[in-house]
Structure 1
Amino acid sequence: MLQNSNSRFLDRTTPPHLLTLVLMAGVAAMTMNVFLPALPEMTEHFGTEYRVMQLSVAIFLAVNAGLQLVIGPLSDKYGRRPVLIVGILIFLAATVGAIYAPSAEMFLLMRAAQAGVVTAMVLSRAIVRDIVPGEEAAQMIAYVTMGMSLVPMVAPTVGGVLTSHFGWQSSFWLLFFVGVGLLLIVYFDAGETAPRTGGSMKDTLKGFPDLLRSQRFLGYAISAATASGAYFAFLGGAPFLGSNVFGLTESQLGFYMAAPAVGYFFGNFIAGRLSTRLGMNAMIFIGAAICCAGVLASLILFLIDRASPETFFFFITLLGLGNGLQLPNSIAGSLSVRPHLAGTAAGLGGAMYIGGGAFLSAFSGSVLTEEGGATPLLVIMFCASFASILAAIWVVKRERALAMQG
């Protein structure tokens, strides 16, 4: 199923169109990586150190994670549409603030506020679960994220070119105008899919312990957290490696940074075709294994001194491929455990894997040196990928135990 049959584009009386869901997820992804090729220039502009500016990734992810704990319950209580519009408005204001920030500290504060755009990504998943059930949701999430992955595939390259010609602020102006376009489309197309519960916020928050007591939810969420954690570690360390270890220009770095998004695109496509046939759990395990294999191969090449920018980013493409297979199914699995708590599950699960990503991003940026090369980063990524395999095995065993009990 590519589109709910009741959806009509630019009709607020029906659920959001598939294109709108793709744009909601895509702008959030674009905010994550479009400016990364500009980090060395931003470091010089603000007169600070790289590790300080690299915090713009970790801080964004950390606030992103915290917001997801609130966005899900709020959207279950008040509806998806109003929460979505407020989040986009906060993002637009913060983007303008980042452009005119007088200091690195103020920039990082505005960067934190930009995380308001995460409402779009979280609620695109919750809306899918509102519209379709179970493994059909995994299929539809896969197609949404496949379309979304086109954005981070192109965004770093565009950001690198803009930075080279117009300076680092140009990437943020791009984000602002894209955000305005998203706001207009959401306003005219996104009909409500979750009626208000009418309960208090306290009642809504009771969904958290219910989910945390579920081993199935935890397995799916940890699987997503560790798999995406490897990717976020890459985001935290790749700009440093590209400029300081490989000697790439901003435009070259932007081109290479698109590598995992290429893999993610094809992984999502395959997940959309095979998830209903093979099942969520099988797809999660296959994706986790591919992630781990790609990172391990790259690590071995560095250890035997046979690595190059081309080999490094090629194997990162496999990381993206594995994530593309795994994440739609892990996310759909976490949402299917308690269908009446889809928004809360989307927020809590998202907070877990984005929060883990924030930690790994900051940690990877702090341990990198020119002398150490990519080895510390790849060790971190391998550990995260291997943990994802263990989480996938946990989910499979739990599913079998439940089936035997049934």
Structure 2
Amino acid sequence: MERRTPPTAMLIAVTMTGPLALNIFQPSMPNMARVFATDYATIQLSLTLFLAGVAVGQLFYGPLSDRFGRRPVLLGGLTLYVLSSLVAMVAPTVEFLILGRIAQALGGCAGMVLTRAMVRDIYTRDRAASVLAYIVMAMAVAPAIAPAIGGYLESWFGWQASFLFVAVFGALVMAAATRWLHETNFQRIEGASLGTMIGIYGRLMRQPVYAGYALSVAFSTGAFFAFIGGAPYVVIELIGASPQDYGIYFILVAVGYMTGSFIAGRLSMRYGVDRMIRLGVAISTVGVVAMIAAALWLPLSLFGLFAPMGVIAMGNGVSQPSGVSGAVSVDPGVAGSASGLLGFSQMALGGLLTFIIGHALSDSAWPLIIMMAVCTAVGYGAFVHACRSRLRAARATLSEARAGD
């Protein structure tokens, strides 16, 4: 059966659903605490458990899409996303709100997993990296614009408007996906049991090439999560700036990431996956060195923190699409599962690093800077491990072929 190429714009829209819902409601959180007569920490659970739902949900969407196809599983996830957004909008208690947010996360992460798998179904390894680069840009755009949209909706209409906005956006995306997003997986695996899923994940984790690429992506993402976990404290408590200043300077990070993704989209086909990862790591390393130098020789400042982070984000934008393509290309027959496990590792490691940095920061920004430097170094080490493992496997295959002759 012929595969029809999904429109890239459609894949981008589907990918944006999860990141848009992640933090569009953040400007409403203080008001929601008053509305539900609870404390801020309880409302914060609706964000923390959303991240947990995204991490866990990705583990299941991959195997399900390998078994039943990408399209029906994606449409099911989008349906859950829309319905749960409406549940959250009319939640009578904070408990209902949190449950709605968890379901919203489980629905929203479908697009994050399945677009990567669909791209790999259609394109070759290097071409997939190029297409993924443009899709990954949505992961930077949506979180960057969502708080601004949520802030205006909160001011004009109240906290429920953000959830209505997300539900309407999800419904439009679902309608468009029903019309234009065709099935891409025609090599289904048999069975969809828990045992089968665990077996597939075990098989992937035992492959050094997959583990190397996946860990490379996870740790480069980890540097970003460490930053968003620690930077607000550094900005407000150590530098003495305002939350508005944080929001304005964070644009440098979003622009850096989008620029890197655009570069990857333009150059991945020409230079290939591995060279793009090396280029991205080199750019991120320049940013890390610049951040260390600024901390050593200059007073702590917003520009000294965010400008180097913008360079690090640019490097991540260059390297991550190729890292994702490298990981999901290792075993194309289970590309959905590979994408789900990769997404889980990103979110799980990111959540862990966010928790650690929250407890490590006190009167200095050095714990944050050191953690980001370590993440960059470990990510590159994992990539080197993947390259060496693939080279060893190629040599072994060549030796077997020669022995057979």
- For residue 182 of structure 2, the aligned residue among 191, 215, 233 is 191
Change (3 A) 1:123 1:403: same
Q: Distance in 1 between matches of 2:95 and 2:369?
A: 30
After superposition, the C-alpha distances for 1:109-157 in whole angstroms (9 at most, x for unaligned) are: 3322221211011111111011112111111111222355333343333
- For residue 69 of structure 1, the aligned residue among 51, 59, 68 is 59
- The answer (yes or no) to whether the contact 1:153–1:259 under 8 Å persists in 2 is no
- For residue 79 of structure 1, the aligned residue among 62, 69, 72 is 69
Kindly state the Cα deviation for residue 357 of structure 1 after the two structures are TM-superposed: 1.4
Matching of residue 138 in structure 1 with residue 129 in structure 2: yes
Q: Distance in 2 between matches of 1:60 and 1:28?
A: 10
DSSP-derived class of the 2:13 partner: helix
Where structure 2 has 5 or more consecutive residues not aligned to the other structure, the ranges are 399-405
Give the match for residue 268 of structure 1: 261
Q: Distance in 1 between matches of 2:82 and 2:236?
A: 30
Give the match for residue 402 of structure 2: none
Equivalent position amino acid for 1:89 in 2: T
Give the match for residue 18 of structure 2: 28
Matches within 5 A, 1:317-332: 317-332=310-325
- The answer (yes or no) to whether the contact 2:239–2:300 under 8 Å persists in 1 is no
Task: State which structure, 1 or 2, has the greater radius of gyration over its C-alpha atoms.
Answer: 2
Q: Distance in 1 between matches of 2:159 and 2:236?
A: 16
- Tell me the TM-score normalised to structure 2 length: 0.85
- The answer (yes or no) to whether the contact 1:54–1:365 under 8 Å persists in 2 is no
Kindly state the Cα deviation for residue 47 of structure 1 after the two structures are TM-superposed: 6.2
- For residue 385 of structure 2, the aligned residue among 379, 388, 394 is 394
After superposition, the C-alpha distances for 1:328-381 in whole angstroms (9 at most, x for unaligned) are: 01110011111111111111111111221122233334445xx53644333333
Matching of residue 60 in structure 1 with residue 50 in structure 2: yes
Give the match for residue 16 of structure 1: 6
Change (3 A) 1:287 1:15: same
Kindly state the Cα deviation for residue 167 of structure 1 after the two structures are TM-superposed: 4.9
Q: Distance in 2 between matches of 1:319 and 1:161?
A: 30
Q: Distance in 1 between matches of 2:232 and 2:43?
A: 11
- The answer (yes or no) to whether the contact 2:81–2:103 under 8 Å persists in 1 is yes
Change (3 A) 1:149 1:162: same
Change (3 A) 1:388 1:36: farther
| More deviation, 321-330/33-42 | 33-42
Give the match for residue 181 of structure 1: 172
- The answer (yes or no) to whether the contact 2:80–2:103 under 8 Å persists in 1 is yes
- For residue 286 of structure 1, the aligned residue among 276, 279, 284 is 279
Kindly state the Cα deviation for residue 53 of structure 1 after the two structures are TM-superposed: 4.7
Give the match for residue 342 of structure 1: 335
Matches within 5 A, 1:76-115: 76-101=66-91, 104-115=94-105
After superposition, the C-alpha distances for 1:18-70 in whole angstroms (9 at most, x for unaligned) are: 11101111222222343445555556666666665555444222221211111
Q: Distance in 2 between matches of 1:141 and 1:64?
A: 19
Equivalent position amino acid for 1:218 in 2: A
Change (3 A) 1:170 1:373: farther
Q: Distance in 2 between matches of 1:169 and 1:238?
A: 29
Q: Distance in 2 between matches of 1:380 and 1:57?
A: 23
- For residue 256 of structure 1, the aligned residue among 228, 249, 255 is 249
| More deviation, 349-358/144-153 | 144-153
Aligned residues: 393
- For residue 109 of structure 2, the aligned residue among 100, 104, 118 is 118
Where structure 1 has 5 or more consecutive residues not aligned to the other structure, the ranges are 1-5, 8-13
Give the % identical residues.
36
Change (3 A) 1:189 1:37: same
Give the match for residue 154 of structure 1: 145
